[in-house]
Chain A
């Protein structure tokens, strides 16, 4: 991978060292170009306008969905564009046909966006079982097996911890869910931008991720939904397609109650998503359109398509290898700094991990570390709870952690600079 060539697509890097890609990634010129060319040359609403610009906008927006689905090996399923992973997960939480007493299993490692939507369902009588990880962020598959019972409908888990960097065994969990007849939602927000994620391999039913963490514009997120098979599975018809909903059912949707036989009801109803409307109800469109009511963020969608092209051109395995090499260098360096502690898998840990590295320095608050790095050397890292308050409490980290996260545009020199700065900060603390 030619890092210097890649960096020339990110002129913002001239001014800073960006180590916060787990929060949001930077945007390369080809993606900006795709976004701007929409506004400059063919801006129009999508949904089958007949004039030229509208046709081009339509086709590019549709193509973007296909590219994204193809990127995760999910050509047979439906990629719905959302604003972010949070919205994708909420779409599932609000759209599944829950019954009182249904059970959801998740972990304590989750980002709030994969925890709060499920907590909210407690209001309608859903039980939530939360599995605790160990200090390294690992979950015990035996705990998961035990947590799943007859009432369990869904397991929702992240693929890569945004706080500790640990990679969770998605394939094994997928297999367990399949065996036990339970739906599996994988939050791939932190993994998919950095490593090959294939839904055929993992066998998940819902894959949620953020376009803005994978070089796409902000306002781009994805919910991929497994294509329904003929007949029934788990004793239920796995439908994600439009079926007639009576107005009565639509009202019930608002109160989160049973909703006909629709497998995943749309979060929003309104313009653009209907196939037909009657006096007393409507049917919604098949495919992604049924879930994207109202004018979507068209340029963000098209930009995300360009981001997928960009990553595919470089090769996601190349990206992964580059990041892992930087991560090893970083962990090794952090290991040698007195008073600094790495949270999660460290330099010599055999635990599988990604390029998200959390740490703390004795005597300093995480925010202080981040502030000092910014002021001293324009180094951008994240600090705090990382939207994982329950996990931080579980690990006894009252003020959270400082976190550096890497991406394809980072270099060895940047890692060295970070390490040099941290060494100095730790000495002064």
Chain B
């Protein structure tokens, strides 16, 4: 995930040559049933999990059983999903990601999250602590970290150059495991902003709460109000802000 590059370090006094660790970024073209669907810019690890999670959080499939096959060969991923010749109609992107991949989800057709999960301040803080221990982030300053947590602690923590990619990989890593994981019993923690696409992905995947160190957006809150997603932002030190569905947060 990290590659060393030569760079010039410049400050007020001197200029010096140095070797700097930089986060890697690679393209991954996803073909669904033989058609190019999208090309994502992602961190190179866990490509298969990324594709599985992406298919799921973008509602290309509604259950992991609908994914017949995923093969990854270099920068190409090929997936076969139920009903192979069903045309994947290019949907208008409604939001854009910071790096990573645009979401094609249509916010006019939103699911209602079926879960009564709540979390408290301590859980939120511990989750944030756990995802902040990212070595890649400390070395490069160039990746986001997303974790999925259940009552007992972290179930998947992923780093990626893109927040959405990390969330897709975290979801993918859980759904392709043999034993079924109930995403309705998990909450997400994220080092980056909770924008509308993050809120949409959580809602579609059925994750009831997202916690972030960063801000959220107006559209994300609108979406969350419709789907029942709890959004907690600006979780820093002892402070946090609850933006949507406060009943999911136990004070």
Interface residues of A (CB under 8 A from B): 41-42, 51-56, 59-60, 62-63
Contact = CB atoms under 8 A, between A and B. Distances in A.
B83 to A, nearest CB: 9
A303 to B, nearest CB: 15
Contact of B85 (A42, A51, A59): A42
Interface size class of B (residues with CB under 8 A): 10 to 19
* A interface secondary structure, majority: helix
A299 to B, nearest CB: 15
B33 A52 contact: yes
Nearest to A51: B34
* 6 closest residue pairs by CB, A with B: A52-B34, A55-B34, A63-B69, A56-B34, A56-B84, A41-B85
Nearest to B31: A55
- Most-contacted residue by chain A among B31, B84, B85 (CB, 10 A): B84
Contacts of B95: none
A55 B85 CA distance: 11
A54 B35 CA distance: 11
B248 interface: no
Contacts, number: 33
Interface in B129-148: none
Contact of A42 (B35, B69, B84): B84
B71 interface: yes
Interface of B: 31, 33-35, 68-69, 71, 78, 80, 84-85
A228 to B, nearest CB: 22
B35 A59 contact: no
Nearest to B69: A63
Nearest to A55: B34
A60 B69 contact: yes
A56 to B, nearest CB: 5
A60 B69 CA distance: 8
A59 B32 CA distance: 11
A256 B201 CA distance: 61
A54 B84 CA distance: 12
Nearest to A37: B84
A11 B35 CA distance: 36
B78 A55 contact: yes
A53 B80 CA distance: 11
B35 A52 contact: yes
A62 B31 CA distance: 16
Contact of B71 (A51, A54, A62): A62
Nearest to A309: B68
A56 B80 contact: yes
B4 to A, nearest CB: 31
A202 to B, nearest CB: 25
Contacts of B68: 60, 63
15 contacts: A41-B85, A42-B34, A51-B34, A52-B33, A54-B34, A55-B78, A56-B33, A56-B80, A59-B71, A59-B80, A60-B68, A60-B69, A60-B80, A62-B71, A63-B80
Contacts of A59: 69, 71, 78, 80
A53 B69 contact: no
A286 to B, nearest CB: 14
B34 A53 contact: yes
B60 to A, nearest CB: 15
A394 to B, nearest CB: 48
